[in-house]
Amino acid sequence: MKTTSIVFDAYGTLFDVNSAAENCKDKIGDKWKSFANFWRTTQLEYTWLRSLMKRHKDFWQITEDSLEKSMEVFGIDKNLKNELLNLYKVLSPYPEVKKVLETLKKKDLKLSILSNGTPSLLKELVHSNNLNGLFDDLFSIEEVKIYKPFSKVYDLPINKYKIKPNEVTFLSANTWDVSGGGNYGYNAVWVNRSNAFFDYLDYKPKNEINNLTQLLNLI
């Protein structure tokens, strides 16, 4: 089936989740990268745990909760909390993102984001990085009130565009998200930016790329 829609994950795929901590590295010190990774891991764990417990909080609340724990664990000055949160709202895109999106926009394809982020967070990320007009839709899990990789999340573009799952090429840097989308029926492509190893979750992507520029060879 020909691709009619390209759906991107946001965090870690289009936008660098470590950039908030990196912009404060002079204040955090040498542990900034370990701190950033812990914050991200805790954030994801909270999304999964809250989904399992049926105790939903939106992604911004989870981001703040996971930051508070991470600051406690790493002994980070609590006065940095608001600065880190404000920086998280305007995470930096990866260098190739805008050019790739502009190239894809010239094709007869729907371009969208499918993310755990709230609608307001996604809009601010797109606006702050001058990506306005490049996406047809910004799909948030807040429409279904449960986090990836629950299958209802992957329904969102399918229901909006009235297409089949195998018409979607789905891009994510998160292996569990690639597995979630792939098992749902998407043509899921792994954006392996860090030369990591893939999970054993009943799905192996046909295509693995190191950055989004390589997507242009697949479409």
Local structure of 195: helix, strand or coil: coil
Domain 19-88 has CATH 3.90.1150.10: no
Contact of 155 with 146, CB cutoff 8 Å: no
Q: What is the pLDDT of residue 159?
A: 98
Residues recognised as catalytic: 9
Mean pLDDT of 24-36: 96
In the CATH scheme, what architecture does the domain 5-16+92-217 have? 3-Layer(aba) Sandwich (3.40)
Dihedrals φ, ψ of 172, to 5°? -150, 145
Q: What is the pLDDT of residue 16?
A: 97
DSSP string computed for 91-144 = PPBPTTHHHHHHHHHTSS-EEEEEESS-HHHHHHHHHHTT-TTS-SEEEEGGGT
Q: Which of 4, 2, 17 is nearest to 173 (CA)?
A: 17
Domain range summary for the chain, segments of one domain joined by +: 5-16+92-217, 19-88
Q: Give the Cα separation of 132 and 150 in Å (integer).
A: 28
Q: Is 171 exposed, middle or buried (0-12, 13-18, 19+ CB in 10 A)?
A: buried
Q: What is the pLDDT of residue 108?
A: 86
Per-residue model confidence as pLDDT tens digits over 99-151: 999 999 999 899 999 999 999 999 999 999 999 999 999 999 999 999 999 99
Q: Which of 121, 111, 119 is nearest to 142 (CA)?
A: 119
Per-residue model confidence as pLDDT tens digits over 156-215: 999 999 999 999 999 999 999 999 999 999 999 999 999 999 999 999 999 999 999 999
Q: What is the pLDDT of residue 11?
A: 97
* Strand residue runs (E) in the chain: 5-8, 110-115, 137-140, 168-172, 187-191, 207-209
With cut-offs at 50, 70 and 90, classify the pLDDT of residue 1. low
Per-residue model confidence as pLDDT tens digits over 13-28: 999 999 999 999 999 9
Dihedrals φ, ψ of 17, to 5°? -70, -15
Cα separations in angstroms, 63 against 11, 49, 105, 112, 170: 12, 14, 31, 23, 24
Does 5-16+92-217 match 19-88 in CATH topology?
A: no
